[in-house]
Amino acid sequence: MALSAVVYAILPVFLLIVLGLLLARTRFVTESFWAPAEKITYFILFPPLIVGTLATAELSVARVAEAAIALAGAIGLMTALLTLIRRVSREAVDVFASTVQGSVRMNTYIGLAVAGALFGAEGITAAAIAIGVIVPVVNVISVLAHGTDVKPAALARQLATNPLILACVIGMGLNASGLGLPPVVGPTLEILGRAALTLGLLAVGAALDFGEVRQFAGRIVVTTGLKLAALPALTAALCLWIGLDGITAIVAVMFNGLPTATSAYILARQLGGHAPLMAGITTIQTAVAAISLPLLMVVLADLFPVVPA
């Protein structure tokens, strides 16, 4: 896979992010627009895209299981490493929590857009599988990292009501049952899904904040290296070890090489994490990913060759 081809495919994703940043900074739309836009995307537009993709995809139980092992295994290893370092360094809980979120969470909007741009429907299917694995794992890790007294029942309720997890369960259920999508429901979900990535990527750009970057430069650099280089390397090693290959492996590694989610900032504020540090990590990782993602995809294309159908 040539670097130029990858850049041409991925560049529109980051141009939409830049457009969102410009719309927010120039106040072309009011600041009050973005919170409802994010809510609509997360709860109304994004889940139909996942349901529609999984309900009609050709899923292999073995490949789903292998992808889950590679994704969750790499995230678990990274979390364990950070926990060990924290015990030695005794850093503050709020700094540790934001470092963990910056090292294991991913921006699903960017991941789905890139997977679809490079691999079409098969890429989106692989991305939906990755989301189904990563979202519950990183949500549990992110909450526990803040050291808050969270009851198991409350955590289970939070996961059970997560729209992305529900979408994965519904989509896989429809697929396994053989029902697929009804004639009217299917096209409706498709129309909603088309709007998800556009609005989601604009919202990613609007949430970027370069104001806190200089103050936490050292921590941000380290966390960015862990997220955009070390975590995908771990994931690739696990994929090779268990024999996962092709588009499923490429998308799995790519998802663990995505910049952290902008929602990590909201969670940091809610649970007492270091919100300014989290904002800086999110901003720099998103900017650096414009360079790291194309390079990563070129490497992965050589590491996991895709056999033409």
In this model, does residue 160 exceed pLDDT 70?
A: yes
Percent of the chain with pLDDT over 90: 48
pLDDT of 91? 83
Q: What is the mean pLDDT of the chain?
A: 89
- Taking CA atoms, 72 is separated from 23, 26, 110, 152, 233, in Å, by 36, 40, 19, 20, 13
pLDDT attached to residue 292? 96
pLDDT, tens only, 14-31: 999 999 999 999 999 898
**Which of 85-89, 191-195, 209-213, 243-247 is predicted with the least confidence, judged by mean pLDDT?**
209-213
Single-letter amino acid code for the residue at 90: R
Confirm if 200 and 45 have CB atoms less than 8 A apart. yes
Res 36 pLDDT > 80 = yes
- Taking each continuous run of H as one helix and of E as one strand, the counts in the chain are 14, 0
Task: Write out pLDDT tens, residues 197-208.
Answer: 899 899 998 888
C-alpha torsion angle, residues 149, 155, 161, 163 (rounded to 10): 90
How does pLDDT run across 41-50, given as a tens digit for each residue?
A: 888 998 898 8
The rounded distance, in Å, linking the Cα atoms of 172 and 9 is 28
Distance of alpha carbon 205 from alpha carbon 41, whole angstroms: 14
Quote the DSSP letter at residue 213: T
Give the predicted TM-score (pTM) of the model. Answer: 0.89
As given in the structure block, the two tokens for residue 123 are 């890429």
Q: What is the dihedral of CA 244, 247, 249, 255, to 10 degrees?
A: -160
Question: Distances in Å between the alpha carbon of 278 and those of 68, 147, 166, 286?
Answer: 27, 16, 27, 12
Burial of 214 (0-12, 13-18, 19+ CB in 10 A): exposed
pLDDT at 83: 93
Q: What is the pLDDT of residue 213?
A: 77
pLDDT band for 290, please (50, 70, 90 cuts): very high
Q: What is the pLDDT of residue 158?
A: 75
pLDDT tens for 42-92 read: 889 988 988 888 888 887 888 889 999 999 999 999 999 999 998 888 888
Q: What is each CA distance from 108 to 50, 91, 120, 257, in whole angstroms?
A: 11, 29, 16, 11
List of domains in the chain? 3-296 (1.20.1530.20)
For residue 243, the tally of other CB atoms under 10 A from its CB is 9
